[in-house]
Amino acid sequence: MKATAGTITIESHLGPADDRSLAYDVLDGLTRPFKELPPKHLYDTEGSRLFEAICRLPEYYPTRTERAILAEHSGAIVAATGASELVELGSGVPTKTRLLLDAMRDAGSLDRYLPLDVSETVLRASAEHLVEAYPGLRVHGVLGDFERHLDAIPAADGPRLLVFLGGTIGNFTPGSRRRFLRALGRGLRAQDRLLLGVDLVKDPAVIEAAYNDSAGITAAFNRNILSVLNRELGADFDPDAFEHVAFYDRHREWVEMRLRAHAPQVVSIPGVGLTVHFAHREELRTEISAKFTRERIEADAAGSGLRLESFLTDEDRLFGVCVIASS
Ligand code: AVJ
C-alpha cells in the first residue's frame, strides 16, 4: 500500500534584517506630523491571542460570517476549480481554511497546502495538525511576509486556490491594495482562482460596534502595539496613558483605529534613538480597515489585471468572499 504519511516542509525567508522592519516603521511612522504605525506590528504572541478573542466577540461579525459563507460555498468552489492545492496568505491558525480543505478532500483532489505566515510557531503547529487530519497531505510552509515574499511560494503543481481571508486586504491603502492585487495576479494561471475575504460597507453603527466591543478586547489589542515597542525597542510607553479610538470614515469607507494620548507625553525609544512627543489628545493611527462594495471590488480587480468571477455573501450582506480570476 502507498504510504499515507504527509510531509512537512517549512522554508524560512525571514532574516536578521526583518528585526529592522519594526525599527524602520517606527522611525518612519512616529516622526510624521500625523503619527502612524502599520497594523502588522499588532500581532505578537499576545496580540495574536487578543485577535483570536476578538474573533469570538458577539459584536465582531466578520469571522463567523465569513466562516458561514465558506461553509455554504466551499463544495461548489472546489468543484468548479478542481483545486488540488491551496495557498493561504497570512494563514494564522487555519480554522476557516479547514472548510476548503475538507471540500478538496471530499472531492478527492486535495494534494498540497502552502501557508505563508510570519510566525514559525503557527506554521509548525498547523502543519503538524493538518498532516494528521488529512492523510497524505503535503504541507509546504513559507515563513515570510506576504508583502515581500510572494515569490517564495513554489510554482503550482495542479489547479490552485490562493486564499486571503478575514478582510485583511482592508489594511492596505487603496493604491497599495491594487499593487498587491496585481502582484497576486502574477502568480495566477487561467485555471487558478483567488479567494478574497472582504468586509462590506454597511450601517456605520454595526461597523463601529465591532471595533469598540463592550468587553474592551479591541482596546487591549490596540494598546498592545505600545507593549511591542516597549519590549522590542526598549521604549517607555505607558499603554494606560492612551485611549482606544475606533471610528468609521464614511467618505473613505474605512475604519481607523487610533491611540489617543490622555495627556502630553514624552516617550523615549532607545532602540531607534528617538524621543517622541505627544500633545494632549494627539492620536497615533494603528490601523485602517477598508470596507467594500461589490462595485469597488470589481474596479480594484479590473485595475489590477484581474476579473471578479463571483461574489459570495451572507443574507445580511455583512461580508463578502470574492472569487477572482486572471483576465
Ligand atoms: C484582521 C485586519 C481583518 O480589520 O477587522 C480586528 C483586525 N482590528 N479588530 C479587521 C482587527 C480590530 C481585522 N483584520
DSSP state string for 121-180 = HHHHHHHHHHHHHSTT-EEEEEES-TTT-GGGSPPPSS-EEEEE-TTGGGGS-HHHHHHH
Work out the pLDDT band at 20, boundaries 50, 70, 90. low
CA of 58 to the centre of ligand 1 (A): 15
Q: Which is the closest atom of ligand 1 to the Cα of 287?
A: 8
Work out the pLDDT band at 127, boundaries 50, 70, 90. very high
Work out the pLDDT band at 19, boundaries 50, 70, 90. low
How buried is residue 298: exposed, middle or buried, by Cβ count under 10 Å (0-12/13-18/19+)?
Answer: middle
Asked whether 119 lines ligand 1 (CB < 6 A), one says: no
Asked whether 171 lines ligand 1 (CB < 6 A), one says: yes
> Residue 16 above 90 pLDDT?
no
pLDDT of residue 90: 87
Mean pLDDT over the full length of the chain: 95
**pLDDT tens digits for range 258-314:** 999 999 999 999 999 999 999 999 999 999 999 999 999 999 999 999 999 999 999
Mean pLDDT of 180-196: 97
> Among 197, 220, 214, which residue's Cα sits nearest to residue 324?
197
Closest residue by Cα to atom 14, ligand 1, is: 168
> Among 182, 47, 66, which residue's Cα sits nearest to residue 118?
47
pLDDT of residue 1: 40
Return the C-alpha torsion angle 97, 101, 104, 108, nearest 10.
180
Closest residue by Cα to atom 2, ligand 1, is: 168
Q: Which is the closest atom of ligand 1 to the Cα of 62?
A: 5
Asked whether 224 lines ligand 1 (CB < 6 A), one says: no
How buried is residue 23: exposed, middle or buried, by Cβ count under 10 Å (0-12/13-18/19+)?
Answer: middle
pLDDT of residue 5: 65
> Residue 52 above 90 pLDDT?
yes
pLDDT of residue 321: 98
> Residue 91 above 80 pLDDT?
no
Selected residue with higher pLDDT from 15 and 298: 298
Which triple of cell numbers denotes residue 188? Answer: 495566477
217-233 helix and 19-29 helix, angle to the nearest 10 degrees: 110
Point out the least confidently predicted range of 3-7, 127-131, 199-203, 277-281: 3-7
Backbone angles phi, psi at 239, to 5 degrees: -55, -30
One-letter amino acid of 40: K
Query: CA 84: distance to chain centroid?
Result: 23
Q: What percent of the chain has pLDDT over 70?
A: 97
pLDDT of residue 3: 45
* Cα–Cα distance list, 180 to 45, 170, 212, 270, 295 (Å): 26, 12, 29, 33, 18
> Residue 95 above 90 pLDDT?
no
CB 8 within 8 A of CB 141: yes
Point out the least confidently predicted range of 19-23, 80-84, 249-253, 295-299: 19-23
Mean pLDDT of 307-322: 98
Which triple of cell numbers denotes residue 144? Answer: 515570510
Q: What percent of the chain has pLDDT over 90?
A: 92
Rounded Cα distance, 73 and 81, in Å: 12
